[in-house]
Amino acid sequence: MEEYLQLFVEETSFYNNIVLGNLVPANLYQPLPHFLQTWLRNFIGGTLLYFISGFLWCYYIYHLKRNVYLPKDAIPSTKAMLLQIMVAMKAMPWYTLLPTVSEYMVETGWSRCYPRISDVGWAAYLIYLAIYLVFVEFGIYWMHRELHDIKPLYKILHATHHIYNKQNTLSPFAGLAFHPLDGILQAAPHVMALFLIPTHLTTHIALLFIEAIWTANIHDCIHGKLWPVMGAGYHTIHHTTYRHNYGHYTIWMDWMFGTLRDPVSDDVKFA
């Protein structure tokens, strides 16, 4: 068992060395305990991902494709985007603590993670991955919905994110502009799944990275029209009505639980 868990430590150490070994002087990070190295890697990696994906996407839709995807009056101001960046960066140290803790629990044998796909085989891997994704979709839908329905939670936590409630205040940088606890709660289903569903660790980490990119994408106000994806057209409706489209990757949970509002059939105009 100890040798099996060591595989997880070796994998997370490999990721730590990729990030920290290239960006931080060795004498600063190598003396740190493994847990702190992992947190520092997640913080640096998460911050870089946030800024790189946000700036590239903003440059593309607001500069290269100016007036193609969005009219001029729908482009958020620099001031609005800087405010979103400030909120996100205040929360980033806390956001990245969640995957750090989850990796620690994996390394110490508290989860149902496995290190190699060959441990279960490809067929089981794909089945478990499908169950994981359904669980996460269900969990994020209800977590998000309760952050609206339970008024103290909305007022104290989620309202921070919903000050961006118009097309010209939403941008890719709003994707992580949450109260820290709000962001952690909405990401919690990813971690809860590790204790219930056999999960490939590398896939779990990759999905968390995809999560960060996805949250930027669904705040750009561009309706992608790719069924059944919960694209930015749907999510913009969520920000303007507060009562619809709580889902994450797909529209299925909103369809099942009666909260779906379609940007096309409802004649909501998007680029």
What integer is the mean pLDDT of 183-196? 94
What integer is the mean pLDDT of 113-130? 97
Q: Which of the four pLDDT bands, split at 50, 70 and 90, describes residue 271?
A: very low
| Sequence letter at residue 220 | D
Burial (Cβ within 10 Å: 0-12, 13-18, ≥19) of residue 120: middle
Q: Which residue has the higher pLDDT, 34 or 72?
A: 34
- Residues 138, 265: Cα–Cα separation, whole Å: 24
In this predicted structure, what is the pLDDT of residue 110? 93
> 57-105, pLDDT tens digit by residue?
898 888 887 777 777 777 888 898 999 999 999 999 999 999 999 999 9
Q: Which residue has the higher pLDDT, 132 or 231?
A: 132
Rounded to the nearest integer, the mean pLDDT of the chain is: 90
What integer is the mean pLDDT of 32-60? 95
In this predicted structure, what is the pLDDT of residue 241? 86
Contact predicate 229/249, CB 8 Å? yes
In this predicted structure, what is the pLDDT of residue 270? 41
Please tell me the number of Cα atoms within 13 Å of 116 on its side-chain side. 7
Q: Which residue has the higher pLDDT, 3 or 89?
A: 89
Question: Tokens standing for 91?
Answer: 């929360």
Q: Which residue has the higher pLDDT, 9 or 215?
A: 9
pTM for this one? 0.90
The number of residues making up the chain comes to: 271
What integer is the mean pLDDT of 33-45? 97
- Residues 39, 137: Cα–Cα separation, whole Å: 26
In this predicted structure, what is the pLDDT of residue 259? 95
What integer is the mean pLDDT of 168-189? 91
- Residues 160, 83: Cα–Cα separation, whole Å: 11
> 210-255, pLDDT tens digit by residue?
888 888 888 877 777 778 888 888 888 998 888 899 998 999 999 9
Q: Which residue has the higher pLDDT, 215 or 199?
A: 199
Question: Tokens standing for 127?
Answer: 């089945």
- Residues 106, 72: Cα–Cα separation, whole Å: 48
